Chains A and B, each alone.
Chain A
Amino acid sequence: MVKIVIDGHELQASAGDMIIEVADAADIYIPRFCYHKKLSIAANCRMCLVDVANNGKSLPACATPVVEGMQISTKSAKALYSQRSVMEFLLINHPLDCPICDQGGECELQDLSMGYGWDSSKFTEEKRVVADYNIGPFITTNMTRCIHCTRCIRFGKEIAGVQDLGLINRGDDVEVRTYVDETVKSNLSGNLIDICPVGALNSKPYAFQARSWELKSTASIAPHDCLGANIFLHTREQKIFRVVSKDNQQVNDIWLSDRDRFSYLGIQHSERLPKPYFKESNGWIEKNWHDALTLTSAKLKINIDKYTPKQVAGIISPNSTFEELYLFNKLIRALGTNNIDHRIREQDFSDQEFQPLSPTSMMSADDLQTSDGILIVGSNIGVEQPLLTIDIKSAIGNGAKIYVINPIDHKFNFDIAEKIIVNSALLPQLLAVMGQYDGLPGELANSIVNEARSIFASLANCKKVSIVTGAHLYQHKHASTMRVLLIELQKQLSAKLMYLTQGANSTGAWLAGCIPHRTTAGEIVSSNGLSALDSFKENLQTYILFGIEPELDCLYPGNAMNALKQASLVIVCSPYITEQMLGYADIVLPIATFAETDGTYINLFGSKQKTSPAILPIYDCKPGWEVLRDLGNSLDIAGMEYQSNQEVYQEVTDVLQQTKYSNRSNLNKTTKSLKFVSQSADLNLLLEWPENSVDCITRRSYALQQANTFSKPLAYINPEDADRLSLIDGEQIILVQQVCEFPLTLSVEQYVPKNCLYIPLGIEATSNLTEGKIEIKKC
């Protein structure tokens, strides 16, 4: 520790700290542009010059370490003169266009020139003008405004893990640009808008929409992935204008993924349903809520009487709030059925009895950052949880090594020490080999077995291991086998296990009881109901859907479509109405999106995060919890007379508190027979959701859709398979299943493993895909 004096205040600091850090901690403000607490030090703007006693020149506070006895003045005549001179210099080429600049009112340059500038400039020459260019759907460029602080460049290198922007040319020709004419690629690029201190990089969808001081700010949660980033929704007169990040060290730090930042564009979309909508003999008609509820419950009762409660299934989106999930559970069970599920992207449920109370990860983001070995199993983590890759990067910064086992060679924005890519059919075997499990079919090539053993050996040498697993695992045909093997592996490595679960609220769904074998708080039901997939395969009579578009949200959308089309009653609670929905639904009840209602989301670390409504529900929509409550009341279900969402929350928390078991996991190899499949000669399907098409809201954000990679109607295969089947890249093909055919374009890619057919779900082209064999036919 050293003692220093800043502006007359005696302060303690650790030697080596920069003056600016010490001053910040003591709430003494020093002006700055290039310095940013989350980025490396560049010291190129010189705005932070301060007067250090016994030093001839003023020194940059961001790059001057403190030493014992340092006497610093941030406001002496010399300091002020230095700061003003730098300010004048920075403004030489900066345009005076604040009135038409979106940054105006929240611009660091504007603020600092007020606080630390001269009122006029000696510069009378011509200003430099720099051309703007298109870097994608999220960010506008006004490069004449750039002050070359290089924050954006350092952000790319240090946080996003891809350097999109750089400084090209030199001297007074210098410009911040992307490579030649490319757009920015990172899915964290929206943070550039926040990080740029001036109006050079601004939000494109927000361009010229509002002034920052007119906007009202409401804290909320972005419910598109299981992290639940903290956001502020900025609104004016019942319209959402933009989303900015809300600082939360434990969750998203100061960052947001583009998906979280720009999903709001889908909220006020033209497909929003204004009023309850009913199919009648002479077509679709709108109804008021009173009639809608009476009619819905009447129809439901008739159907149940006619076909028994066993013919009812309720399927809810894992992105619903905890309260909605709880009420949905209460409603469906009261109808006399246990066919309830939120696991719309899973197909292997055989271990459900042995699963813990919820799939919450018993670790924190901090654990990930401090691990020295991280094993990623079956996850495209950069797409599933873009923000967690920042934690992984900081782990790497601390010396961690990353190992990957995946069914496809996903590109990551961090360095990988070793990876094994195998056909997804072989993933369970690979895990078994790693965990030294014996009794295997032994189909893996020796080289792969050796690699797996070597990764295991490297991990065994680490002090703190984290295993992260995601969609390629939970979507897998033999997910339960893999879960058992992962737990074995976890024990052997004394590792922490992180489940990247589906949707924003899987934990909430398990706790609330939206699973067919347990109700709220894990209480076992008398007889297991059907899972989402099974209830579709069984072709039941009545379906109640909440917040999902099955043709785009379910793992085998074709199975869902077939079931819904034959059912006699399909009730859909959805914010949107689509052509497809009119084809299978009988009743559509309009519900509010996350921005229009309050609710709770429980993230993968188990933290309960609350939202409050930023705008009123648009048109005649109602918050989901109200719809479920009202439906419950008109069905005369007891105990549904809530006055507020808070009451619902209170009730479910009380039930949870009374629960006797906190964690009932007894998944291990004795409780579950392991299933291994051989890699057959058929093409093995590998399905994935495009990163910006994960739910009904993101699919309707035009900006997100423009940036959506992997959402084109393409089918990807390995070059060897292409040769074997004499197919060529770019060729039109038809995928054939028992009843349906769908045309796609072939893309031949080295990163796809052999015998694999990799296709996107969540897009129209594949919305009829069913479980079962698939063949490629030439056009």
Chain B
Amino acid sequence: MIKKQKKYVLPENLQNKIDENLKKYPSDHRQSAILYALRLTQNDNGGWIREQHMRAVADYLKIDYIAVYEVATFYSMLKLKPVGKSLVSVCDNISCKLKGADNLLSFIEEYLQIKTGETTSDGLITLERAECLGACVNAPSMIVNDEYQENLTKDKVQQILDNLSNGDNH
């Protein structure tokens, strides 16, 4: 018995936004909207992209699935696995590293009892490393839920994490 699964299609509001975005590009360059479409889908689906979403984006843009997969795996901002309610991205590139990013990262790992790349068991916080955030002047830095946190110290980080654990997203 072969049963076809019901296909996920992008909801209309996303389709409209993508159409709007497509206007910026030549009409035969629909792949230009992949990144935008994936970010929209990610935000619309609890912060991560499922396989069916990549298919839906490809189908909507009328491009091969692999073209979407390439973009989705290239950018670290696009998540292909579930993330916690809050996302903590700690920079470990050169400036931050010189200012102790490694220690900071292991401190967070210990404090949250997870490894980099994992999510706390209560599903609240996901920890990841990030490439240079362009905030070297105030290294070490990290991004928490789209907001920059700079000149970090252990105390400051602990404060931020506690807030997140208490359900305060910002």
Q: Report A's interface with B, CB cutoff 8 A.
A: 156, 162-170, 177-180, 182, 729-730, 745, 747
Given A167, A180, A747, which contacts B2 in the complex, CB threshold below 8 Å? A747
Known A170-B74, A180-B51; contact A165-B66, beta-carbon cutoff 8 A: yes
Q: Is the pair B66, A745 in contact by a Cβ cutoff of 8 Å?
A: no
Q: Is the pair B64, A180 in contact by a Cβ cutoff of 8 Å?
A: no
Q: Is the pair A168, B73 in contact by a Cβ cutoff of 8 Å?
A: yes
Which B residue's beta carbon lies closest to that of A185? B64
Inter-chain contacts of B67 with A (CB < 8 A)? 163, 166
Known A162-B64, A179-B65; contact A167-B70, beta-carbon cutoff 8 A: yes
Known A168-B73, A180-B69; contact A163-B64, beta-carbon cutoff 8 A: yes
Task: List 14 contacting pairs A-B, 8 Å CB cutoff, sorted by A.
Answer: A156-B64, A162-B64, A168-B69, A168-B74, A170-B74, A179-B54, A179-B66, A179-B69, A180-B51, A180-B65, A729-B3, A729-B4, A730-B3, A745-B1
Q: Is the pair B2, A745 in contact by a Cβ cutoff of 8 Å?
A: yes
For A177, A180, A729, A745, the residue with the greatest tally of chain B CB atoms inside 10 Å of its CB is A180
Which A residue's beta carbon lies closest to that of B131? A171
User: B residues 1-33 with Cβ under 8 Å of A?
Assistant: 1-4
Which A residue's beta carbon lies closest to that of B75? A170
Given B2, B54, B73, which contacts A169 in the complex, CB threshold below 8 Å? B73
In the bound complex, CA of A182 to CA of B1 (Å)? 21
5 further contact pairs, Cβ within 8 A, besides A163-B66, A179-B65, A180-B51 = A165-B66, A168-B69, A179-B66, A730-B1, A747-B2
User: B residues 52-71 with Cβ under 8 Å of A?
Assistant: 54, 64-67, 69-70
Inter-chain contacts of A166 with B (CB < 8 A)? 64, 66-67, 69-70
Which A residue's beta carbon lies closest to that of B76? A170
In the bound complex, CA of A164 to CA of B64 (Å)? 8
Q: Is the pair B66, A164 in contact by a Cβ cutoff of 8 Å?
A: yes
In the bound complex, CA of A179 to CA of B55 (Å)? 10
Q: How large is the interface on B (under 10, 10 to 19, 20 to 34, 35 or more residues)?
A: 10 to 19
In the bound complex, CA of A178 to CA of B64 (Å)? 11
In the bound complex, CA of A165 to CA of B51 (Å)? 17
In the bound complex, CA of A730 to CA of B66 (Å)? 28
Q: Is the pair B51, A168 in contact by a Cβ cutoff of 8 Å?
A: no
In the bound complex, CA of A747 to CA of B4 (Å)? 9
Inter-chain contacts of B70 with A (CB < 8 A)? 166-168
In the bound complex, CA of A166 to CA of B3 (Å)? 29
Inter-chain contacts of A165 with B (CB < 8 A)? 66
Which A residue's beta carbon lies closest to that of B64? A163
Q: Give me the 6 closest cross-chain CB pairs, A-B, nearest first.
A: A166-B66, A179-B65, A163-B64, A168-B73, A166-B70, A179-B66
Q: Taking the nearest CB of chain B, how far is it from the CB of A750, in angstroms?
A: 11
Q: Taking the nearest CB of chain A, how far is it from the CB of B68, in angstroms?
A: 8
In the bound complex, CA of A747 to CA of B74 (Å)? 37
Q: Is the pair B69, A169 in contact by a Cβ cutoff of 8 Å?
A: no
In the bound complex, CA of A178 to CA of B4 (Å)? 22
In the bound complex, CA of A557 to CA of B69 (Å)? 45
In the bound complex, CA of A180 to CA of B65 (Å)? 9
Q: Is the pair A178, B66 in contact by a Cβ cutoff of 8 Å?
A: yes
Inter-chain contacts of A180 with B (CB < 8 A)? 51, 65, 69
Inter-chain contacts of A747 with B (CB < 8 A)? 2
Inter-chain contacts of A179 with B (CB < 8 A)? 54, 64-66, 69
B60-97 to A contact mask, C-beta < 8 Å, 1/0: 00001111011001100000000000000000000000
In the bound complex, CA of A167 to CA of B69 (Å)? 9
In the bound complex, CA of A745 to CA of B3 (Å)? 11
Q: Taking the nearest CB of chain A, how far is it from the CB of B21, in angstroms?
A: 22
User: B residues 70-126 with Cβ under 8 Å of A?
Assistant: 70, 73-74
Inter-chain contacts of A162 with B (CB < 8 A)? 64
Inter-chain contacts of A167 with B (CB < 8 A)? 70
In the bound complex, CA of A199 to CA of B100 (Å)? 44
In the bound complex, CA of A725 to CA of B82 (Å)? 44
Q: Taking the nearest CB of chain B, how far is it from the CB of A163, in angstroms?
A: 4
In the bound complex, CA of A170 to CA of B65 (Å)? 18
Q: Is the pair A182, B2 in contact by a Cβ cutoff of 8 Å?
A: no
Q: Taking the nearest CB of chain A, how far is it from the CB of B129, in angstroms?
A: 13
Inter-chain contacts of B65 with A (CB < 8 A)? 179-180, 182
Q: Taking the nearest CB of chain A, how far is it from the CB of B33, in angstroms?
A: 17
In the bound complex, CA of A729 to CA of B3 (Å)? 7
Q: Taking the nearest CB of chain B, how far is it from the CB of A188, in angstroms?
A: 15
Q: Taking the nearest CB of chain A, how far is it from the CB of B157, in angstroms?
A: 27
Q: Taking the nearest CB of chain B, how far is it from the CB of A171, in angstroms?
A: 10
Which A residue's beta carbon lies closest to that of B72? A168
Which B residue's beta carbon lies closest to that of A175? B73
Which A residue's beta carbon lies closest to that of B2? A730
Inter-chain contacts of A178 with B (CB < 8 A)? 66
Which B residue's beta carbon lies closest to that of A747? B2
In the bound complex, CA of A480 to CA of B41 (Å)? 53
